[in-house]
Amino acid sequence: MRTSYSALETFKTCPLKYKYQVIEKRGAPKRIEAIFGTLVHSALKFMFERNPLYPTLDEVINFFTIKFNEKADGVLFNDEKTKEAEEKMYLEEGVRMLKNFYKKNQPWNFNALELETRFSLDIEDEKTKRTHTLAGIIDRIDKNEENETYEIIDYKTSKKMPAESTLEENLQLNLYHLALTRRWPSITSGKVKLSLYFLKHNEKISLTPNQAVIKRAQEMLLSTIREVEDKTEKDDFPPTPGPLCNYCGFRPVCPMWSHEYKVEKNEPDEKMVSSAISEFFELKDSEDKNKDRLGELREIIIGYMDKEKVERVFGADGFITRTNQERVSYDLEKLRPTLEAHGHWQKLLTPDAKKLDEINAELTEEEILAVKEAQIIKKFATLKSTKKKGAVEEE
């Protein structure tokens, strides 16, 4: 398959967003956060370009300001009522970050070999015997002429700056490292430094990886690709709600959020589920919960979710999220002849599913097949209610 780090990161964040964005190639409104990051990257690229001289700080700020004003139209803001204030905040934040960065990183003090370099490389998965093509863009590659070392730098506009030790597990930087050493085979691993520059903090964290780190990162990369292929084959892309939902342009069509965006809410079904949700929260708050009625309301809500194909429903008092789960048990008597033949039945002593799981690593292929055939999978849904506190939802 052909993919990129950004696509794999989208999959890890939310498989359903990956399906919408990468597989189905659905368009979504550009949010201010994404536009802001793109424009800051563009300004930093402009800063390190000699044409024939490096630009001054004022020229960098002017470049960013012009581009920001051009791109601001048509961008999706977090709250249209406070759009002007939010736009001003992002513009000022970008100017602040660029000023601080420029003061600490005058471009003439660095030997930037390449800026926003596109790459494409093939990786073979020995387990599946498949070859995958990974593509991407490296923000900056520097070369230190004194010791003949190279530095891959990726800019980050995020607030959180992780511990330096986590860079060993950073798939993005390790993919960039692989791309660089594939492109220039004469460069040895010890000659490449990987860096993340966090612009909000004006700090850089770095790592010079060894072969063990590189091998482990490549296996993590291939493991993620295998998971994507498996999910694609099964068409199993569950929505994964989290903090990043606030910045996702697919909320209006996502089953976790689409009910909140539904315009027409006067139909009998809508009134029924709205009433059920309100009563659901009332009963949850009550000390003497009416379990029978909660069960009836649960069936109404799940029935509505199935009918409307949504995984979250919204009412005046909050929203309710469904999580589908499975519980596995075994027909142990059906398993007994096969396990006895291989001497494993005795290890169970009192036969139960928990002990069967404990000896799973010792089973033969014949026994593993028998275990799968004896599995009894019960699927069930759980509902999690989240009550609104004023105008703010809290989970």
Domain match, 19 and 95 both: yes
Q: Taking the CA of residue 91 as centre, how many other CA atoms within 13 Å lie in the half-sphere pointing to its CB?
A: 16
Q: Is residue 208 part of a domain?
A: yes
Domain match, 193 and 126 both: yes
Q: Is residue 185 part of a domain?
A: yes
**In this structure, are residues 18 and 237 in contact, taking their beta carbons and an 8 Å threshold?**
yes
| Residue 142, pLDDT score | 95
| Residues 144, 14: Cα–Cα separation, whole Å | 39
Q: Is residue 120 part of a domain?
A: yes
Domain match, 140 and 65 both: no
Pairing of strands 130-144, 2-4: parallel
| Residue 77, pLDDT score | 66
Domain match, 73 and 155 both: no
| Residue 391, pLDDT score | 37
Q: Is residue 319 part of a domain?
A: no
Domain match, 153 and 204 both: yes
Counted domains in the chain: 2
**In this structure, are residues 377 and 326 in contact, taking their beta carbons and an 8 Å threshold?**
yes
Domain match, 100 and 124 both: no
Domain match, 228 and 185 both: yes
For residue 136, give the nearest of 152, 112, 158 by alpha carbon: 152
Domain match, 65 and 167 both: no
Domain boundary among 108, 140, 164: 108
Domain match, 150 and 198 both: yes
Q: Is residue 199 part of a domain?
A: yes
Domain match, 125 and 51 both: no
CA torsion 115→153→7→124, rounded to 10°?
Answer: 100
Residue 73 backbone zone (phi > 0: left; psi -120 to 50: alpha; other: beta) = beta
Domain boundary among 108, 133, 153: 108
Domain match, 158 and 227 both: yes
| Residue 374, pLDDT score | 75
Q: Is residue 331 part of a domain?
A: no
Which domain covers residue 26, as residue numbers?
A: 13-108
Q: What is the CATH number of the domain that holds 203?
A: 3.90.320.10
Q: Tokens 């482990």 sit at which residue?
A: 216
Q: Is residue 61 part of a domain?
A: yes
Domain boundary among 208, 233, 258: 233
Successive 10-residue mean pLDDT values, the chain, 395 residues: 90 94 87 88 95 93 92 66 82 96 95 93 89 93 90 92 82 86 83 93 90 82 91 93 87 90 76 88 72 86 93 92 82 78 66 62 74 74 72 36
Residue 158 backbone zone (phi > 0: left; psi -120 to 50: alpha; other: beta) = beta
DSSP 259-317: HHH-S---SHHHHHHHHHHHHHHHHHHSSS--HHHHHHHHHHHHHHHHHHT-SEEEETT
| Residue 221, pLDDT score | 87
Q: Is residue 168 part of a domain?
A: yes
| Residues 209, 177: Cα–Cα separation, whole Å | 9
| Residue 38, pLDDT score | 92
Domain match, 103 and 123 both: no
